[in-house]
Amino acid sequence: MRMFNTVAALAIPFIPRALVRKISRRYIAGASLDDAIERVQILNASGFSATLDVLGETVSSADEADAMAGEYMKVLDAIQAHSLNAEISIKPSALGLLVDEAECERRVRDILEAAGADKNFACIDMEDVRCTQREIELFARVEADHANVGLALQAYLKRTYEDIEYLLRKKCTMRICKGIYVEDQVHLVERARNDRAAINAHFINHVSRCFKTGAFVGIATHDAGLIDELISLVRRECVDRTKFEFQMLLGVCEPLRDKLLAMGFNVRIYVPYGKDWYGYSTRRIKENPSIAGHVIKAMFTRE
């Protein structure tokens, strides 16, 4: 089955977009903010917290970046209006990082100001290596004035060892994930390109450093074996459960997320919505080939 899923993932570019969309409905709340609100309400009722993500990445103009910033503001208003247990995740490239860094920073600060007024929180997503240094520098500048912001780090990058030490000295909130963007091998930890399990030791190292320094960490993975190792670490080191949470994607590994919640761990679900469903879906399929298997099977089933 694993081999089938891997082959299926490689075949995704040749599969009709309509079939990818059929499967994406499980992993994306919908096209509208109302769809996302409804999904978060269901998750909250079951005991999960959520992170709302507006789909869409690199923009090419100030107008597009302003529109995306406006959408984030609508999300914050919706969280407040509906008393949702949710925060937001923001992508600097969608706010114009690669168009005008100063204007991108202004938009990020405006979002953080609005979130802070509602006692809410935002995590800055980490994107590909074109953005990595810029995003860390952006985070450092805004974090100096806003305590309600965290940063995602990718365990498959060599540079994360240095980056995390800088952030830990400031006791910053972090999200540790494996990483999904296609990068040149020079940037990656050993064997990370061809073997996702090779990242696990690095992932554990980074999470352990957060535990030891007392920095809050979001553990973003669906790897059951990795999660078991981290739970053993939590128990061995007697880590306070308020100092971390598990984070998982909407519709992915639901039995595992339910098990973690039943064990008393805090579990946050990443809830994307918006029109850029294809780009998001294909990236997630590459990260989790089992999704690709469902897409292939959908070719032989009816709606």
Q: Is 191 a catalytic residue?
A: no
Degrees to nearest 5, angle at CA 253 with 281 and 131: 45
DSSP per-residue string spanning 110-137: HHHHHHHHTT--EEEPP--TTTHHHHHH
| Active-site residue, from 125, 163, 209, 284 | 125
Q: Is 63 a catalytic residue?
A: no
DSSP-based three-state secondary structure for 273? strand
| Positive or negative torsion for Cα 171, 174, 179, 181 | negative
What is the distance between the alpha carbons of residues 167 and 270, in angstroms, rounded to a whole number? 23
Closest to 91 in 3D by CA, of 57, 132, 67, 60: 57
What is the distance between the alpha carbons of residues 113 and 135, in angstroms, rounded to a whole number? 18
What is the distance between the alpha carbons of residues 90 and 95, in angstroms, rounded to a whole number? 8
| Active-site residue, from 39, 107, 175, 284 | 175
Residue 274: what are its φ and ψ, rounded to 5°?
A: 130, -175
Indicate the burial class of 3 (C-beta count within 10 angstroms; 0-12, 13-18, 19 or more): exposed
**Active site residue ranges:** 125, 175
